[in-house]
Structures are given as C-alpha cells and as structure tokens.
C-alpha cells in the first residue's frame, strides 16, 4: 500500500526525529576529542537543526587509525565476495527501509523538498550502494601473456584508506558515489561530509554496521573543512582523497596531496554548463529541459544548465516558454509541503551571496526577464525564486561564475560556429546539451563540446551505468559506472617463474 505523504505526516516525522551529530569511528559514536560542537541552522526556517561534533586533527587521526586497522586486518577485503555482496545489498535495503527518516535528515540539513529527498536522493543513494555491491562477485583479475615458463597474474587490489570529502548539495547521493565503489573494491573509508550536511552520512554509517559491514570500514568525521577536511587530505596514512566540491577547494586538495604523501586525488568540481538551442529545435522540449536543468535543487547542482545559448531568432519565444514551465511545474514551497518541487538554499550566507551576484550582474547590464528574488522570507528560511536574465554576453559575471542558485543566463547567438565558441568559452567542462532536429549537427556539436557529459535534445538524464565527471577545471576521475571502481584500486603484478 502506498503511503499518504501529507504535510502533517512530515511535520510529525520532523518533530519525532532526534538527529545524531557525533562522529562515527570504529563502529561507534564519538564526541569530538575537544568536546566542542557546532549548531547547524535549518535552511527551511532558520531554526536550529542539530548539534554536531566539531572535529579536529586528533579526531581525523582516530578515524584514519580505525580505517587502517580494519584494512590491515583483512576483516573486509579478505571476506568471501558473495558475503561482501550480501552485506552491501542489505545495506541498500536498509537505506530504502529507513527512507522517510533519511529524507527528513537531508531536508533538515539542506532545505530541499522532503519528497525530492525521498524520491531522488534516498533512491539514488540506495541504488549506488546496490550497484557496486552487485559488482563484488563479478570482478575478475587478468593473466598476462608470458612465455610457457612463467605465469604473470595482474591483480586489481584496493588502495587502503580512502578519505572522502563531499559537498552539501546532494549529500547522500555523492556519499554513495564514493562509498559504493571504494568499499566494494575492499578499501576502508573516512568520510568528511560538508559541515552543512552531516546527518545523513552518520545515519548511513549506522545502517552499514546494521547490515554487517565490519567496524572501521566506514567512518565519519564531522566538522569544518579547514579543521577536518584539511588534516584528512594532509594525512600521511591516507592513500587517496575522493573529493567533490568547488574548484577552489579542489586545487587546495591537490596541494595537500603534494605536500604530504603524494596520495592520489580524484576531483569532481564546479561547472557552468551550456544548453544550446537552435531555431529548428522542439522549443517546448527545450524549455522544459532548460527550466528543470537550471532550477532543480534551486540551482544548487554542479552540472546545472546555467548558460542557455539560444539562437537569437527564438530567444524571446523560448524564454516565454521557460517562464510558463517554471510557473506551472516548478513549485517553490516549504520543503515539508508534498507539492514543493524546489525549496530553500543551503544557508543565509549563501542566499546573500546569490542575491549579491544577481545585483552585481544587473549593474553590469544583465536584463532580468523574470524571478531571481528572495521569497518566502516570512518562513525564516532562505528562498530565492527561479529567474532568467536575457540578452547576455558570455563575458558577463552571471554567465561566467558558478552562482549555485536558480539563475539562468540566456546568451543569444547567430551561427553554429559562434554557439560552439560560446559553449566552450568557460574554465569548466562538466556537462552540456544541444537541442536541434538536425541530427548531423547534433552529433557534430556534441563531439565538440568539451564536457564529461553531453545530452542531445534532453538534459540531466543518467543512470548508474554512465560515468559522471568533468574536463578542464571541473576536475578529473569519474564517479558512477563500473569504471568508478578503477580509481580506488591499483594493479599489482605477481610473476611466477616455473622451475
Ligand atoms: P566546497 O566549499 O568546496 O566544500 C566541499 C567539501 O570540502 C566540504 O566538505 C568542505 O567542508 C570541504 N572543505 C572546505 N575547505 C577545505 C579544505 N581547506 N580542506 C579540505 N576540505 C575542505 O563545496 P560546497 O560549497 O560544499 O559544494 C558546492 C561545490 O561543489 C560547487 O562548486 C559544485 O559545483 C561542486 N560540486 C561538484 C559536483 C561534481 O560532481 N562535479 C557535484 C556536487 C557539487 P566544509 O563544508 O566544512 O567547508
């Protein structure tokens, strides 16, 4: 029987929930060694959310020691593949079984609609753990060609201790993108979630233990980036950092790796993705894709289609359609309202930054077509309405900077050559799209956009089979797909010479 998800139901889940805010190290909760905590403010209403342990280098040391001990003992990596698979699949099932609770923790932290937390974030988190769990008993090693008197095994072996540092925009999903392949490959993990979004990570760790994952294989340290993320990335006993976040912090992570033990890094960074619409396109489809592609999750999406590069002859028509789709389909409401499609921005400081960027853009001459204003301030939360700026040029700040809010910059073009030049004129290369009925042009264009993913006549379609990540300053390394396992492993050759 399907549940009746009403506002009252979610209000009761919210009032019953008691979020756990301590670290999770070696299978148990632990307060910060300093005893310090910090308070997370709920973006939905500006009220206090949870108290969290304020981690420091000593806490990171404890978590890394726990992860190292689990790895060296072989308690996980040497387990029968079938047993490991069963544990990962049980973990995925437990995530689904605790879906309402996890969804509420995510919404308390990040202010996205609870129905989206449940229908998208919880679902994709469970799918991620399941996808890599299912791979565990299907991964083979190689035998290299040699002469008849030797046998060379090429083994794919886990790296050891993985430090995962994740952002706040899709916490549970991105955690699963790291945890799934890293743990399936036999590694231990220390996860440092964003200071804004630790609650779901702690709950995921508890559920992992309940599923049978041995203590120490998955640890969580909460706290600020400078105080916990930095010591983790500088740690001499961490073999790799899997990072998702801003390009600015990604560059620091590379530096920390170089300054410490030359650990590997994989970086999923920012974006300013182009969505290119030619005049022959299905404009209704393009409008739906442009609106959802930019405004979903209130624009707090790394691959959001924030630059609409549109053939001049159809700009006005397309913007009118985008406005109609936004008004009719993308309801901005309180996150506990089951009808909400988008909710609050992550925090007051971020909302003020978004509003300041909009104001600066207008000073430069950006022309507002609609929206992009603070709304629902009476809730005490941090909401900005979806908005579009038109007749932009690609050198204006709204077209260049990652705003991480619901702001679309429409940039008109006249020729295909010009459209491609504008699309690629960015430091980022995460995603892009082209809308046209001319399939030759669609394929020519998609080959030439420098981005990790290019969609034709759609936006943001994906599944776990497809790799995700960027070119240029959007980073390197890929999450999702069978290939994601590779970055958590290395090859080891075992050569036997026959007597
Ligand atoms: P962020 O400020 O770069 O933070 C990301 C993570 O790094 C957080 O856990 C943060 O901790 C930590 N951190 C901050 N300073 C650090 C330091 N000096 N050393 C080590 N760790 C440090 O990014 P965000 O604001 O959370 O997320 C938004 C950004 O993520 C956007 O740029 C977005 O495009 C990008 N993103 C990319 C992808 C992708 O797949 N390419 C996906 C999602 C998001 P604190 O929170 O405590 O500062």
For residue 471, pLDDT beyond 70: yes
The predicted-structure confidence for 298-334, as pLDDT tens digits, reads as follows 999 999 999 999 999 999 999 999 999 999 999 999 9
- Give residue 125's pLDDT band: very low, low, confident or very high (50, 70, 90): very high
Q: Is pLDDT at 190 greater than 70 in this prediction?
A: yes
- The CB of 168 under 6 Å from ligand 1? The reply is yes
Q: Is the CB of 198 under 6 A from ligand 1?
A: no
User: In whole angstroms, what is the distance from residue 463 CA to residue 117 CA?
Assistant: 17
Contact at 8 Å (CB) between 407 and 301? no
User: Which one of 101, 106, 227, 268 is the catalytic residue?
Assistant: 268
What pTM did the predictor assign?
0.98
Q: Rounded CA gap, 237 and 263, in Å?
A: 9
Ligand 1 atom nearest to 232, measured from its CA: 20
CB 422 within 8 A of CB 273: no
Structure tokens at 50: 């949870």
Q: Is the CB of 222 under 6 A from ligand 1?
A: no
* Residue 402 Cβ contacting ligand 1 at under 6 Å: yes
Nearest to 373 by CA among 363, 360, 361, 359: 359
160: left (phi over 0), alpha (psi -120 to 50) or beta: left
Per-residue pLDDT reduced to its tens digit, 379-390: 999 999 999 999
pLDDT, residue 153, reads 98
268 is catalytic: yes
Crossing angle between the packed helical segments 171-184 and 99-110, to the nearest 10 degrees: 120
Return the exposure string of 85-122: e unless at least 16 CB atoms fall within 10 Å of the residue's CB, then b: bbbbbbbbebbeebbbbbbbbbbbbbbbbbbbbbebbb
370 lines ligand 1 (CB under 6 A): no
Tell me yes or no: is domain 7-269+475-493 CATH 3.30.160.100.
Answer: no
Residue 112: which residues within 8 A CB-CB, separation 6 or more? 106, 121, 297, 298, 335, 342, 343, 344
What is the reported pLDDT for 133? 98
**Domain edges within the chain:** 7-269+475-493, 274-464
pLDDT at 183: 98
Å from CA of 245 to ligand 1 middle: 3
Phi and psi of 405, rounded to 5°? -145, 175
Spatial distance between the Cα atoms of 372 and 354, rounded to a whole number of angstroms? 9
The answer to whether the CB of 453 falls within 8 A of the CB of 466 is yes
Name the average pLDDT for the chain.
98
- Judge whether 195 counts as a catalytic residue: no
Reported as a single tens digit per residue, the pLDDT across 204-243 is 999 999 999 999 999 999 999 999 999 999 999 999 999 9
Residue 121, phi-psi category: left (phi > 0), alpha (psi -120 to 50), beta (remainder): alpha
Higher pLDDT, 1 or 341: 341
How many other CB atoms sit within 10 Å of the CB of residue 486?
Answer: 15
Catalytic-role residue among 106, 125, 195, 302: 302
H or E segment and range at residue 79: none
- 208 Cβ inside 6 Å of ligand 1: no
Closest CA to 450 of 409, 478, 480, 420: 420
Mean pLDDT for 28-53 is 97
Q: What is the 3-state secondary structure (H, E, C) of 434-498?
A: EECCCHHHHHHHHHHCCCCEEEECCCCCCCCCCCECCEECCEECCECCHHHHHHHEEEEEEEEEC
Question: Residue 219 in contact with residue 26, Cβ under 8 Å?
Answer: yes
Q: Find the helix or strand (DSSP H, E) in which 275 lies.
A: strand 274-277
Cα–Cα distance between 41 and 60 in angstroms, integer?
Answer: 24
CA of 345 to the centre of ligand 1 (A): 15
Same fold, 7-269+475-493 and 274-464: no
Q: How confident is the model at residue 3 (pLDDT cuts 50, 70, 90)?
A: confident
pLDDT at 2 over 80: no
Q: Whose CA is nearest to atom 48 of ligand 1?
A: 225
For ligand 1, atom 22, the nearest C-alpha belongs to 225
CA of 269 to the centre of ligand 1 (A): 8
User: 412 CA to middle of ligand 1, Å?
Assistant: 32
CATH number of 274-464: 3.40.309.10
Burial 414-427 (b: 16+ CB within 10 A, else e): eebeebbebbebbe
Tell me whether residue 491 is exposed, middle or buried, using C-beta atoms within 10 angstroms of its C-beta: 0 to 12, 13 to 18, 19 or more: exposed
Task: Read off the pLDDT band of 1 (50, 70, 90).
Answer: low
Compute CA distances 435 → 127, 301, 459, whole Å.
30, 21, 10
């Amino acid at each position: 029987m399907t549940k009746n998800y009403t506002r009252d139901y979610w209000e009761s889940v919210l009032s019953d929930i008691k979020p756990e805010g301590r670290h999770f190290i070696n299978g148990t909760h632990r307060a910060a060694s300093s005893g310090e905590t910090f308070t997370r403010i709920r973006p939905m209403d500006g009220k206090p959310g949870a108290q969290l342990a304020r981690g420091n280098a000593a806490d990171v040391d404890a978590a890394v020691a726990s992860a190292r001990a689990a790895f060296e003992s072989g308690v996980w990596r040497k387990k029968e593949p079938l047993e490991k698979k069963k544990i990962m699949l049980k973990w995925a099932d437990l995530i689904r079984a605790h879906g309402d609770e996890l969804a509420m923790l995510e919404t308390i932290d990040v202010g996205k609609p609870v129905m989206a937390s449940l229908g998208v974030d919880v679902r994709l988190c469970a799918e991620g753990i399941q996808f890599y769990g299912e791979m565990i008993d299907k991964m083979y090693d190689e035998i290299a060609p040699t002469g008849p008197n030797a046998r060379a095994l090429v083994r794919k072996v886990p790296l050891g201790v993985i430090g995962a540092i994740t952002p706040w925009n899709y916490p549970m999903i991105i955690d699963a993108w790291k945890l799934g392949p890293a743990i399936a490959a036999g590694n231990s993990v220390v996860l440092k979630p964003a200071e804004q979004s630790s609650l779901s990570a702690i709950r995921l760790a508890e559920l992992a233990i309940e599923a049978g994952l041995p203590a120490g294989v998955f640890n969580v340290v909460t706290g600020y980036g400078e105080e916990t993320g930095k010591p983790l990335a500088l740690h001499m006993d961490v073999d790799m950092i899997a990072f998702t976040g801003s390009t600015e912090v990604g560059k620091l992570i590379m530096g920390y790796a170089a300054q410490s033990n030359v650990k590997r890094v994989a970086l999923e960074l920012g974006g300013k993705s182009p969505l290119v619409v030619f005049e022959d396109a299905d404009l209704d489809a393009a409008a739906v894709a442009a609106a959802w592609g930019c405004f979903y999750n209130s624009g707090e999406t790394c691959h959001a289609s924030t630059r609409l590069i549109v053939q001049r002859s159809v700009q006005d028509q397309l913007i009118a359609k985008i406005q109609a789709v936004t008004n009719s389909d993308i309801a901005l409401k309180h996150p506990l309202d089951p009808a909400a499609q988008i909710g609050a921005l992550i925090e007051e400081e971020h909302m003020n930054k978004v509003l300041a960027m909009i104001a600066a853009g207008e000073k430069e001459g950006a022309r507002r077509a609609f929206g992009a204003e603070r709304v629902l301030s009476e809730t005490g939360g941090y909401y900005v309405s979806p908005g579009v700026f038109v007749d932009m040029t690609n050198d204006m700040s709204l077209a260049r900077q990652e705003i991480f809010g619901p702001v679309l910059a429409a940039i008109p073009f006249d020729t295909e050559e010009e459209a491609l030049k504008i699309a690629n004129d960015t430091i980022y290369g995460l995603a892009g799209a082209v809308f046209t009925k001319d399939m030759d042009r669609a394929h020519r264009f998609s080959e030439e956009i420098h981005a990790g993913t290019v969609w034709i006549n759609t936006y943001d379609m994906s599944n776990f089979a497809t790799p995700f990540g960027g070119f240029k300053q959007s980073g390197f390394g890929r999450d999702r797909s069978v290939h994601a396992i590779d970055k958590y492993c290395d090859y080891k050759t075992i050569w036997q010479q026959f007597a």
